[in-house]
Structure 1
Amino acid sequence: MNVAFETPLKEIAGLNWELVRLLEQELHIATVEEALLYLPFRYVDRRFFVPVDDVRGPDGMVQVVGVVSQMEIVGQGRKQRLVAKLQGSRRSIDVVWFRGVRFHYRRIRIGSRYVAFGKMDRFGSTLTMTHPEFDLYTEEMQKTARIEGVYSSTAKINRLPQAQRAIADLIRSVANVVLMGVEDPLDERFYVRCGLIPLRRALWDVHFPKEFAEVERALKRLKFDEAFFVQLRLQQFRVRNHTLNIGIEFSRVGNRFNKLYKEELPFDLTRAQKRVLHEMHDDMRSGRQMNRLLQGDVGSGKTLVALFSMLLAVDNGYQSCLMAPTEILAQQHYSTIKRFTANIGVTVALLTGSIKRGEREQLRAELQAGKIDILIGTHALIEDDISFNNLGIVVVDEQHRFGVDQRATLWAKGTNRLPHILVMTATPIPRTLSMTLYGDLDVSVIDELPPGRKPIKTVHVYEEQRAQVYEGVLRELAKGRQAYVVYPLIEENEKMDFASLEEGFVSLKQFFEPRGYLLAMLHGRMSPDEKNYAMRAFSANRVQVLVSTTVVEVGVDVPNATVMLIESAQRFGLSQMHQLRGRVGRGGEESYCLLMTPYNLSPNTRARIETMVRTNDGFEIAEADLRLRGPGDIDGTKQSGVATQFKLIDVKQDCKLIEKANAEAKMLIQEDPLLAKPENAKIKSELARRALGSRYSKIG
């Protein structure tokens, strides 16, 4: 039988069929590939045997040797259990089974020497081991003893006799069938340059190592493959973008661009904004499609740079669109861009999911007729019924991290030539994570804030200081300023001991309204009209305190707001707190961010709070957030596919490996962009198979 990595386990003869069934049912492990990549989550050293007399007490996993001196079945029904005494010369331990009682009772012989492997516990004064692996001791065991993997499991799988051994035996059987025929997609070039072992050896050693060093080498190879083929795909996208994707040539800088730049703009662009505009203009007049990531800290002026790129399109006879992750942010972008373009002859429209049907139909017609120059909206922009007359540039506010495929959906809204793509990110992205999320894009960074911006003072305060905090907020309100108070949840959750928005709102009203200040509430369950009403009231200073959940994290721009009070700050990640902090300090006045927490904090949480107090640098904060929380917790990266494209890689632990894989992928694509050389045929085949969802090539 020819066996491939995608061959179902149930087609391989001689396996434990009940385990095969449960692996598919419980853990979705159904193929040879999935079984071989079902890696141990830890390893135990079974090379050493401890006599019963030398057991010191509860101390994790241990392998004990002794003689079974007595054995009895105790209890009735569900409480029935088998207790065997494993005896040394001076002491004994109790070995207990609640499952398979009759099976073990029949196979164990009193007076024989056994090896028990499991977790040692203490019940009263008695040392016990429950459901251990339990085998007749032989001298041969000393010669074959090894390091063994421990596999994650489920309750149903654990009910199988000696479940861990059954899993290891199944994987060994599968490996023996397929590994001799494995074709390694990588060759000696990579073994030497990257310090890698062959794939066949890695897949064996990761399950059945003789030394712990073999586990490290095996994991390095498997992780390298994972990172390398992700980076290789992204590098191919880059090559396609730079060579094959014919873009629209924006050859002229026209009246609208120049009028805003020279006459309407009430301030000068920063050097960083000008540099990024030059980078973008070089792309857009080159005749190839621009695919660029625009990174910048909170308040650095990304939206204005994006507007200028859209005006280049308008001046060259093309339409533009800007897609935002939320209606609030789309509305904010719409208001900002309308304000900047009021006197330069540009038609700007807003499309969100809540727009009425009649308005939507009229907007669609105007868009198709080319009467709308700039369309701003939410995910509604990528719905099938939305089409442009001549789309020239797509700007995506990437707070929700659209991936390659979603960006391609927007490309398709263009005509014969591909529209330019500008992806903005409000949260600075750590370098390693940027490779993973946006390796197919060129990167521009606005690393300078507009002049006159004062650093926001961040203070850590405790809940016991609430009265003093409120008095401090009052002092700012008395100057005519405004404040945000942000809570992590909408409803009280008994399992989580943080403040509820509704309760907090009532408490804050009781404090501030008798003193002459009005409050509004904002959260995700409100209708779009209710949200917009609350935001307009706050923007117009009809409301002085906005009590909100994290829907204000992005897009809310009220220069008069100078205080951000974050309740239960221990519940927020660093990048999220930094985004919230960025809602204040936008008007040139001294501004404050107050992080309120209980006194007792974990070391990790205290480190997050201290980082916020220490720095306003978004890039430093992003790196710290990656260290402290990991990529799966950084805002939006779960939706991006990081969690699914990396099964083995830990982005924060494996930075150097990702960088090495990225360098190798770049070098390979520079030498052979289409992977057409004979020596790269296996790599090309493997890349294609992974794109279809299978990781390794056929065998045998």
Structure 2
Amino acid sequence: MDLKDSIRQLSGVGDKRAENLATLGIETLEDLLSYYPFRYEDIQERQLNEILDQEKVTLKGTVVSPAVLSRFGYKKSRLQFRMMQGHDVFGVSFFNQPYLKDKVNVSEEIAVYGKWDAKRKSLTGMKILGAQQEEEFAPIYHVNKVVRQTTLIQLIKQGFEQYYTVIEENLPLSLLEKYRLLSRQEAMYAMHFPKNAKEHHQAKRRVIFEEFFLFQMALQGLRQKERAEVNGLAVHYDVQALKAFTKSLPFELTQAQKRVTNEICRDLKSPNHMHRLLQGDVGSGKTVVAAIALYATVTAGFQGALMVPTEILAQQHMESFVELFAQTPVKVALLTGSTKTKERREILAQLASGELDVLVGTHALIQEDVNFKRLGLVITDEQHRFGVNQRKILREKGLKPDVLFMTATPIPRTLAITAYGEMDVSIIDELPAGRIPVETRWIRPQQLEQVLTSCQKELAKGHQMYVICPLIEESEMLDVQNAVAVFEELQAFYAPKYQVSLLHGKMKNQEKEAIMETFKQNQSQILVSTTVIEVGVNVPNATMMLIIDADRFGLAQLHQLRGRVGRGAAASTCILVANPKNEVGKKRMQIMTETTNGFVVSEKDLELRGPGEVFGSRQSGLPEFATADLVADGHILEVAKTEAESIWQKKNWEILPDYTALVAYLQVQQAQKAFFD
């Protein structure tokens, strides 16, 4: 007998029922016994004098009148009888459960779970529990049309009766003792049938730790494997040339930029494979750090690549690199979906011959015909936008090139540990000198006209303004109509003194670039846009941003948008126009006005929306945890990570007796590729 046995081993499970259970993801005994309830009903027996109106309760008493069944309508019925508890008599009704009549006998004691109506002094029954009620909690499971609660509970009970003894421990004994955890047997059983709240708490604590710990063990294993790849590249860059390049930059690096540059350069030099995540808040200067890393790579005779999610961002990076590398022999090119065929052929030929040093581009970089001569470093920007597989394809373009992921979306610690736990993390946690934090204000739509009038003062100083329109999920056409309407209103409002231009997702790339160019050159003073400008766009002269219907945006997105202003020496303002319908909406607007720290914003975002929403589940690489919650149980995740790391640091830990069960369990999981896509 084994928990991997098919569910068909249980009596009463034939082909049809097995098929039905499979719709819940239950195919083996392990699936069944770890299919935990999502909530519990309190079925402790209560006294009449201590319960409230409309409360769900369990009342125990003696049946004092025969059960009367009356039928009405198609398949509808009502079963009524009276019960006595102490000196109090009350009525009980059950709807559409005629088969319960046989369980109700005058003078016998029963316990009924149901909803109490204080006015009528009666109980609307849900189930009869029998007189000897040991448990205080009844489990409630996620079920569907083909599997009923009662069926599932019966099968789980039967599963435990037959298989309880074969549930094997998968955690080291040392950890069970250290954290006073229940055994796996006890915890699995108590998750379904806890005797009381305390037992349930202990069971849940054990199950959450187990989920996080096993995941972290697999993740740290992956990390060890990455690090042990000594056949990674050792990029022996020219230290003097790199120092001279850094000195030639038109500004002094911040302490944080110096620190992360050193971490990256140390990785480049090492023969181990670099796998690093560079996090930096909006405007913290990640592009310069990327340029330094690419320059170092080129001085060692290798090529570098930078992959970004949008053409506008690729164009932006290209311009920055051309400027930064102007006084060096580094040759840079741009490759996107809209690169002309002839130009594309030339770029690919130069890339394959090694004539080209750095290639900047979008997904176009991972197409089959893109071949590098000696790819040494791959940088992906806004990397959460790329799926795991896209990141992998780019890595495989070279001879195990070093990999640097960059993001301006600060990732809360718990998410970074789970989604990127196999990477080293560098954080740029200070803004360049002279940056003035952006002031953020929240106004209601009816105050908009006043604000537009006051914006004229800034425009009169020669500054510029962004006006952002929300994306409307249902239809791209609505987005465009919405943006066009705002554009026309502003044109009418500011004409003829100021020029207004419009940018939206339906436009061709050349059009978008031309419009961005006129804005950069200050030929138009107001840019109305959908969120195409979210990441990386850099116009230091823009000091105002107006976000229409700001409550339609996620917090991280609002923070990204806000980062487009405040990039020059002048004080900047971001105005959120919103009339949120609920408390969460109001809370989000308040958070934006209270902090400009992206890490604080992202933690709050995670609390309000949950991990799947924040990361976009489809591409996130975030695992699905059955019981554990990344937000609420973050502290347990930290402990699990620390313990997993310390085990992997022990020499030959796999052969130590305390880890035998753990090794066996991880081997099975890896064979099933249970943890990663």
Structure 1's 564 and 337: CA in aligned 2 closer, same or farther, altered over 3 A? same
Is the 8 Å Cα contact of residues 436 and 571 (structure 2) preserved in structure 1? yes
Name the SS for the 1:671 alignment partner.
Answer: coil
* TM-superposed deviation, 1:590: 1.0
Letter in structure 1 aligned against 2:398: G
Is the partner of 2:612 in helix, strand or coil?
Answer: coil
Match of 1:680 in 2: 659
Distance in 2 of aligned mates of 1:54 and 1:91: 15
Alignment-derived partner of residue 79 in structure 2: 84
Q: Aligned letter for 1:428?
A: P
Worse-superposed segment, 246-255 or 184-193: 246-255
Partner of 2:284: 300
1:464 aligns with 2:449: no
What amino acid is the match of 1:626?
L
For 2:636, the equivalent position in structure 1 comes to: 657
In the other structure, the counterpart of 1:365 is 349
Equivalent in the alignment of 2:207: 222
Aligned residue number for residue 416 of structure 2: 434
CA drift of 1:259 comes to 5.6
For residue 603 of structure 1, what is the aligned residue in structure 2?
583
Q: Do structure 1's residue 39 and structure 2's residue 36 form an aligned pair?
A: yes
279-288 vs 10-19, which deviates more? 10-19
Q: Give 2:303's aligned residue.
A: 319
Alignment RMSD: 3.2
Query: Which residue number corresponds to residue 564 of structure 1?
Result: 545
Cα distance, 1:394 vs structure 2: 0.8
- Give the corresponding residue for 1:620: 600
Q: Decide which moves more: 64-73 or 682-691.
A: 64-73
In 1: Cα distance, 2:162 partner to 2:340 partner: 62
Deviations 1:139-191 (A, max 9, x none): xx23534421111223444xxxxx32222111122233333112212132011
**Paired residue type of 1:686:** Y
5+ residue gaps, structure 2, are none
1:133 aligned partner: 127
Alignment partner, residue 144 of structure 1: 134
Partner deviation per Cα, 1:54-111 (whole Å, 9 max, x = no partner): 87532245557655542111024xxx411122324654243212xxx6x638756685
Scaled by the length of structure 2, the TM-score of the pair is: 0.90
Name the structure 2 match of 1:446: 428
Of 23, 32, 49, the residue aligned with 2:21 is: 23
> What are the within-5 Å matches in structure 2 for residues 158-237 of structure 1?
163-237=148-222
Report the alpha carbon displacement of residue 631 of structure 1 after superposing the two structures with TM: 2.0
* Contact preservation (8 Å) 2:550, 2:577: yes
The more displaced of 442-451 and 83-92 is 83-92
Partner residue, 2:275: 291
Task: Give the distance between the partners of 2:184 and 2:507, measured in 1 at CA.
Answer: 54
Instruction: Show CA shifts across 1:561-598 (max 9, x none).
Output: 11111222223332222111101000111100111221
Contact 1:33 1:695 in 2 (8 A): no
Residue deviations 1:31-64 (CA, integer Å, cap 9, x gap): 323222221111112231667x987532245557
Residue of structure 2 equivalent to 1:160: none
Compared CA separation, residues 653 and 678, structure 1 to 2 (3 A): same
Distance 1:250 1:571, change over 3 A: same
Amino acid at match of 2:435: R
The structure-2 alpha-carbon separation of the partners of 1:153 and 1:542, relative to structure 1 and needing over 3 Å to count, comes to farther
| Aligned-pair CA distance for 1:464 | 1.9
- Bigger Cα displacement from structure 2, 308-317 vs 552-561: 552-561
Which residue is 1:641 aligned to? 621
**SS at structure 1 position matched to 2:247:** helix
Q: With the length of structure 1 as denominator, give the TM-score of the two structures.
A: 0.87
Aligned to 2:493: 511
| Alignment correspondent of 2:319 | 335
Summarize the Cα distance change of 1:60–1:420 in structure 2 as closer, same or farther, 3 Å threshold.
same
Picking from 248, 251, 254, the partner of 2:233 is: 248
CA apart distance, 1:694:
7.1
Q: Cα–Cα, structure 1 residues 384 and 687, in superposed 2: closer, same or farther, change >3 Å?
A: farther
Other structure's SS at 1:83 match: strand
In structure 2, the CA distance between the partners of 1:173 and 1:449, relative to structure 1 (3 Å rule), is same
Corresponding residue number in structure 2 for 1:154? 144
Aligned pair in 2 of structure 1 residues 526, 31: CA closer, same or farther (>3 Å)? farther
Aligned to 1:70: 68
Q: Match of 1:117, SS?
A: strand
Identity of aligned residues (%): 37
Q: Residue type matched to 2:54 in 1? A: P
Aligned counterpart, 1:591? 572
What is the rounded CA distance, in whole Å, between the counterparts of 2:59 and 2:221 in structure 1? 51
Count matched residues.
Answer: 666
SS in 2 for 1:144: coil
Deviations 1:227-249 (A, max 9, x none): 11222222223323333333322
The amino acid of 2:443's aligned partner reads V
| 1:476/1:94 CA distance change after superposition, 3 Å | same
Taking a change above 3 Å as real, the CA distance of residues 475 and 469 of structure 1, as seen in their structure-2 partners, is: same
Deviation, structure 1 residue 695: 6.6
Aligned pair in 2 of structure 1 residues 621, 105: CA closer, same or farther (>3 Å)? Answer: closer
Distance of aligned partners of 1:367 and 1:128 in 2 relative to their CA distance in 1, 3 Å threshold: farther
Asked if structure 1 preserves the Cα contact closer than 8 Å seen for 2:379 and 2:403, the reply is yes
1:371-402 per-residue CA deviation (whole Å, 9 max, x = no partner) reads: 22111222332334333111100111134255
Q: Residue 391 of structure 1: which of 375, 382, 385 is its match?
A: 375
Does the 8 Å contact 2:307/2:381 carry over to 1?
Answer: yes
Aligned CA distance change for structure 1 residues 456 and 668 (closer, same or farther; 3 Å) = same
Output the CA distance in 1 between the equivalents of 2:494 and 2:122. Answer: 62
CA pair 201-314 structure 1, distance change in 2 beyond 3 A? same
Moved more, 614-623 or 205-214: 614-623
Instruction: Return the offset for 1:15.
Output: 3.7
Aligned counterparts of 1:378 and 1:246: Cα–Cα separation in 2? 28
Q: Relative to structure 1, is the Cα distance of residues 182 and 568 closer, same or farther in structure 2, using a 3 angstrom cutoff? A: same
